[in-house]
Amino acid sequence: QSETISVTDNGTVRDTTLELTVLESNSSGTLVQATVTETTTDDPVTTGRVEIGNQSAALNASGMAVLELEKRTSSLIDGQYVPADWWRADQLYSAAEDRATVPPNYPTFQKLVQLFLVTLLWSLPVALAVYGFDYLTGGAVLGLRENP
């Protein structure tokens, strides 16, 4: 099968920029937004696809793609823009790469205070029971108190 294809702009390949943004990260996975724009004009690129690991997504009319990644052992996400094949595209674009970092999931101050209070409230009855047992036995069994 053959087809005649005319390439506009004398086959000029335009540079692109890929930007990866982590939208959400939790225990089940990570949601990543990829945005591809032309480097010189910042216009969105609407052809091609973005690949992260073994997953791929096509770009929409705004030059964006959203990928949902499974839980990863690494906090780094490497992605690349793969332009559409030259014989299928009206405009030629170069490939682009970017790296994003998944922010660490540290507990909030409120969660730390809750953990401290819960730990204190759970250990207080045990400590009182041990001290009470030691008090009743006069320190003979546990030796927490000195015998006179």
Residue 2 banded pLDDT, cuts 50, 70, 90 = confident
Helices vs strands, H then E, count in the chain: 1, 9
Residue ranges of domains in the chain, CATH in brackets: 16-101 (2.60.40), 106-147 (no CATH)
Q: Please check the confidence at residue 47 and state whether its pLDDT lies above 80.
A: yes
The whole-chain average pLDDT of the chain stands at: 86
The number of C-alpha atoms within 13 Å of 146 and in the hemisphere containing its C-beta is: 1
Tell me the per-residue pLDDT of 91-127, one tens digit each, with 9 for 90 and over: 889 999 999 998 887 888 999 999 999 999 999 998 8
Among residues 32, 10, 2, the alpha carbon closest in space to that of 91 is found at 10
pLDDT at res. 130 = 85
Q: Is the pTM of this model over 0.95?
A: no
| Phi/psi-derived region of residue 14, left when phi > 0, alpha when psi is between -120 and 50, beta in every other case | beta
pLDDT value at residue 146: 63
